[in-house]
Amino acid sequence: MEAKEELKKLILDAWKDGYVVFASADGLRKQKLEDFTQQPLEGMLYDINRDAATILTFADDPKWVNDLALTKLLEYYYNKCKEQEKLLTASTKQ
């Protein structure tokens, strides 16, 4: 199997097992999705090099536009989700 295909299989298999795989300065990292998502959104985006500051450094690659759009969509839905969690928590305390 070609190296690219092996990497793709490794990453997709990890997802099936509940892990997120991402590239870092130290190479590939794998972490349980449940654990990874316990940090604030800014930390998750930073870890996967999709925070706005990092994306803007890739302005020579046209895909930066959609990367930034995705980041902004994630921020929007993350914040909506957190608002709903607060409302749910408040309503269950009553």
Q: What is the pLDDT of residues 25-63, one digit of tens each?
A: 899 999 999 999 999 999 999 999 999 999 999 999 999
What percentage of the chain carries pLDDT values higher than 70? 100
Distance CA 53, CA 46 (A): 9
Distance CA 55, CA 69 (A): 10
Average pLDDT, the chain: 94
Q: Would you tell me how many other CB atoms lie within 10 Å of the CB of residue 2?
A: 7
Specify the 3-state DSSP secondary structure of 58.
coil
Position 41 scores a pLDDT of 95
Position 93 scores a pLDDT of 83
Question: What is this structure's pTM?
Answer: 0.82
